[in-house]
């Protein structure tokens, strides 16, 4: 409601755009507050297909501009897609990498050890850990693995040692979590 109120105070909005505006507010709020944010596709379904996906994304940018991006702290979920689109071509696995990264981020939010890392490092470490998990079954050399980690660190302007430490902690937390349920 806060986003909606602030937007409507500054922008005259036709009645026919209120559902779209409310959906954009829900989308932004879920990105900032939920451990697993709502997807554009899910919101599309919730509106009974009454909005266009592209329109939702365009209005998200409009709202961010009007609110001067003054929403809240950045979360690790923000911009996962931006990292994934820069990865070497493994398009068939991007959805799975994204899903694993979101799960790892959720694990991190429940563990105090990750409070020392900025959200961008948790996000990048989660993507790195997700790829590591998928590559475990394949014969991938440590040289290739290091090259990918360096690439991720470069994309996100993250310190390499900090990224490796975060990724290793994610692996430890994951293993501990899996052992609890056995």
Q: Where are the domains of the chain?
A: 2-66, 80-180
Q: What average pLDDT does this structure show over 25-45?
A: 85
- The pLDDT, as a whole number, for residue 75 is 67
pLDDT score of 23: 92
pLDDT of residue 141 exceeding 70, the answer is no
Own/partner pairs, 37-45, CB within 8 angstroms, 24+ separation = 37/77
Q: Provide CATH code, domain 2-66.
A: 1.10.472.10
Is the CATH number 1.10.472.10 carried by domain 80-180? yes
Max mean pLDDT among 117-121, 123-127, 144-148, 177-181 falls in: 123-127
Q: What is the mean pLDDT of residues 62-66?
A: 85
């Amino acid at each position: 409601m806060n986003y909606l109120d602030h937007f409507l105070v500054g922008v005259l909005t036709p009645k026919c755009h209120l559902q779209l505006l409310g959906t954009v507010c829900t989308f932004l709020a879920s990105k900032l507050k939920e451990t697993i944010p709502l997807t554009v596709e899910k919101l599309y379904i919730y509106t009974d297909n009454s909005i266009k996906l592209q329109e939702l994304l365009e209005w998200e940018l409009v709202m961010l501009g009007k609110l001067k991006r003054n929403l809240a702290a950045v979360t690790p979920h923000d911009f996962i897609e931006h990292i994934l689109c820069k990865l070497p071509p493994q398009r068939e696995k991007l959805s799975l990498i994204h899903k694993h990264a979101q799960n790892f981020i959720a694990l991190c939010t429940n563990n105090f050890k990750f409070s020392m890392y900025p959200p961008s490092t948790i996000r990048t470490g989660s993507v790195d850990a997700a790829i590591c998990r998928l590559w475990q079954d394949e014969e991938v050399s440590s040289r290739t693995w290091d090259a990918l980690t360096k690439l991720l660190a470069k994309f996100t302007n993250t310190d390499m040692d900090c990224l490796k430490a975060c990724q290793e902690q994610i692996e430890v937390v994951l293993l501990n979590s899996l052992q609890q349920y056995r």
